[in-house]
Structure 1
Amino acid sequence: MVWKNPHYDAAKAHHTPEGFRNLEPDTREPGGLQRWRKERKEQGLPRPPTEGYDAFAQRWWQTATFDGEDDAAWWLGHASVLVRHGGLTVLTDPVMGHRASPLSFVGPARRTRVPVDVDGLPPIDVVLLSHNHYDHLDERTVRAIARRFPQVVFLVPLGLKRWFERRKIAHVHELDWWATTEVRGAEFTFVPARHWSARSLWDRNRSLWGGWVMAREGFRFWFAGDTGYSDALAEIGRRAGPIDLAAIPIGAYAPRWFMRGQHVDPAEAVRLHQEVACRQSIAIHWGVFELADDQLDEPPRLLTGALANAGLPDEAFLLLNIGSRIAL
């Protein structure tokens, strides 16, 4: 039986009868995945960080603490960001498992520990999910959060609500691009990204992907999720800005011939920071899982250079330790 997209709207260009699509051209070449796997095996990629994994973790990791009630944001590793503003606490793409994989014994494993487990989290009001890849949607973590915080609201891309319902997780709302919902005094808008979705060989692009903009009491936070570069993303700033704080990915970009349609590199991340007109950004999606050919410590080096080339200070696009916080 052929699967049909139950959300299909012919008036929307990113909808198809079979699922969803990017508005940009597909950059993946036939046989590209096999070519990439062959090349990285032959070249022994990715290589360890320059000074080794232990030294990398000592440099970029610390335990997360959530004392006080002041407005702040924490980077908890990979795409997990916790934002507390005016007493509302929001968590993005919580992944606290050891592997980004459907299996416990194979798949990308953590190279840096989680800075806090679910039991150590402060009360969470809203969880934002960007898409269903295993390094962004971890079933064990989501179940644990739902058990510990029964009233937590999960905001997810269109087509992903059923995954939560099958696991009897309540308070789930799914949104299409540019749709908005209100939760506990904050407005959340699901915004486009250039990526894709799948949790198996048979469900590619059956659910949507994207980022989120939270607006509350004059403060706006953009969580970019996973994205390749597109000049169309500047519309986020025009329609949902101005952005006070952004979380933009900088890792898993090599080789460019294979990754450019799904992951920005540090220079493109800086370009998005500028084009979306973000007041300040923090770098995410690096330093935890080896998902591509770049070394774990290469993205921060390249980001520093990209900022200098753009004439921006380091404070405009922050490199945080995993587990650290910034005041808002």
Structure 2
Amino acid sequence: MRLPIRAAVLTFALLAGGCSHVNPCYDASRSHHRQQGFANNYPSNPAYARPPQGFFAGWAGRIRNWSDDGSARLPLAPVPTVKPDLAFIHANTSEPALTWIGHASFLYQAGNGVNILFDPVFEERASPLPFAGPKRQQPPGVLLSELPRIDAVLISHSHYDHLSRDSLRALYRQAGGPPTFYVPLGIDLWLMENVTDGKREHIVRLDWWEKASLRGLDLHLLPVHHWSARTPWDRNATLWGAWAVTRPGFNFFFSGDLGYSKDIQDIAARFEGGFDLAAIGIGAYQPIWYRNSHVSPDEAVRIHRELRVRHSVGMHWGTFPMGQERIDQAPRDLALARRAQGVADDAFFVLKIGETWRAATRTGAAP
């Protein structure tokens, strides 16, 4: 169904409920804080500048994409999927393991009995509108009903393909009690309004470079170059970030969404020992101005090298048609980038949707 542009803009106006906001987390001592929200540490790359356009023209273009069925971005071959190894997932309490649910949604089992979900989105559309927006091309690799009890949910930012109200509501009501939600500044307030019925006790909010502890794990929120919004009127009202989950013997990095910036060198300087495993975005890099918000496969391999990652998994592809490239183009470009930069095939690969990478076996086939 195609949504008329004027009707869509009106719908957004109703959803927004206002046109201004004040940052309740504002701290004048922090350079990335603004009175109305947050800012990146470093300037955007001028080579990736978007052609000038007005406010309504920009949002009209987004809505037009949302109304598109994505046929021009269909894969050249079916995106690989596999039946999840639920027996292992439910029994595993001692081995680091990563299961790809789809797009940027992962189940990370930290190897100490802790089950963590990153950016869980199980809905059919990554959109505020039930009848328009990026539509899921493959079902989740693991269903909500198939998950083990989740101890923690880590959110990278507020975009609809990373922050889902309905998925988080379901997790909040899981058997055995709610998980703890670890979120960037400002998303805690959204959770209280939309998920936890005003309660804060299961929410931990962090600023960049802050960390929280969970049963022997350190959860670090890290600065990356991106932005946030859920309506046309709340751009950068909430913070965004990548995550590192560390414990003695194993470090994991989750990129969230990011454009390439000096933030990567800053992270590398803080984590001199590198990372054993990473999930790094490789999709939604066309047209070129998307690359101030997302990295290309070539830039993702560069991040893999600069962060000294032993094994990386490419994410943010194959599920929702977000960029203008075909939905399966990223793995092919990843293979070219890997070879150009001298990275082994088994060092940076993609999983099948539903597949589990296990530290003990170090599985993962290159595309």
TM-score by length of 2: 0.82
Structure 2 match to 1:152: 179
Cα deviations across residues 213-232 of structure 1 (Å, max 9, x unaligned)? 01123211111100011133
Cα deviations across residues 54-80 of structure 1 (Å, max 9, x unaligned)? xx14xx112222323143111111001
Cα deviations across residues 96-117 of structure 1 (Å, max 9, x unaligned)? 0000001111111011111222
Question: 1:293, 1:320 → 2: CA distance?
Answer: 22
Structure 2 match to 1:74: 99
Cα deviations across residues 137-157 of structure 1 (Å, max 9, x unaligned)? 111111111101524111000
Structure 1 match to 2:5: none
Q: Compute the displacement of 1:2 (Å).
A: 5.2
For residue 337 of structure 2, the aligned residue among 282, 306, 312 is 306
Structure 2 match to 1:105: 131
Cα deviations across residues 221-267 of structure 1 (Å, max 9, x unaligned)? 111100011133122122135211111000011011x2011000000
Q: Compute the displacement of 1:277 (Å).
A: 1.2
For residue 141 of structure 1, the aligned residue among 151, 155, 167 is 167
SS in 2 for 1:99: coil
Question: 1:30, 1:81 → 2: CA distance?
Answer: 36
Structure 2 match to 1:6: 24
Question: 1:47, 1:147 → 2: CA distance?
Answer: 36
Question: 1:198, 1:245 → 2: CA distance?
Answer: 29
Question: 1:168, 1:296 → 2: CA distance?
Answer: 31
Question: 2:34, 2:188 → 1: CA distance?
Answer: 18
Structure 2 match to 1:30: 52
Question: 1:243, 1:81 → 2: CA distance?
Answer: 17
Q: Is the 8 A contact 2:208 2:221 kept in 1?
A: yes
Q: Is the 8 A contact 1:76 1:114 kept in 2?
A: yes
Q: Which moved more, 1:142-151 or 1:231-240?
A: 231-240
Kindly report which structure 2 residues correspond to 1:1-328, keeping only aligned pairs within 5 A, or say none.
Answer: 3-26=21-44, 27-31=49-53, 34=57, 37=61, 46-51=72-77, 56-57=78-79, 60-68=80-88, 69=92, 70-84=95-109, 85-149=111-175, 150-167=177-194, 169=196, 170-240=201-271, 241-256=273-288, 258-328=289-359
Amino acid at match of 1:5: N
* CA 1:294–1:32: 2 relative to 1, 3 Å: farther
Question: 2:354, 2:262 → 1: CA distance?
Answer: 31
Question: 2:96, 2:145 → 1: CA distance?
Answer: 21
Q: Compute the displacement of 1:28 (Å).
A: 4.0
SS in 1 for 2:245: strand
Question: 1:174, 1:29 → 2: CA distance?
Answer: 35
State the percentage of identical aligned residues: 42
Question: 2:202, 2:221 → 1: CA distance?
Answer: 17
Q: Is the 8 A contact 1:237 1:243 kept in 2?
A: no
Q: Is the 8 A contact 2:41 2:263 kept in 1?
A: no
Question: 1:116, 1:9 → 2: CA distance?
Answer: 40
Question: 1:71, 1:30 → 2: CA distance?
Answer: 46
Q: Is the 8 A contact 1:46 1:292 kept in 2?
A: no
- Unpaired segments of 5 or more residues in structure 1? none
Give the CA RMSD over aligned residues.
2.3
Structure 1 match to 2:11: none
Q: Compute the displacement of 1:29 (Å).
A: 4.3
How many residues are treated as equivalent by the alignment?
320
* CA 1:216–1:318: 2 relative to 1, 3 Å: same
Q: Which moved more, 1:81-90 or 1:204-213?
A: 81-90
SS in 1 for 2:346: helix
Question: 2:217, 2:51 → 1: CA distance?
Answer: 41
Cα deviations across residues 261-317 of structure 1 (Å, max 9, x unaligned)? 100000000001111111111000000000110101110000001000011111111
Question: 1:46, 1:227 → 2: CA distance?
Answer: 25
Q: Is the 8 A contact 1:45 1:293 kept in 2?
A: no
TM-score by length of 1: 0.91
Structure 1 match to 2:7: none
Question: 1:10, 1:45 → 2: CA distance?
Answer: 47
SS in 1 for 2:28: coil
Amino acid at match of 2:170: A
Amino acid at match of 2:21: W
Cα deviations across residues 184-232 of structure 1 (Å, max 9, x unaligned)? 2211010011110011122110100001101123211111100011133
Q: Compute the displacement of 1:168 (Å).
A: 5.0
Amino acid at match of 1:183: L
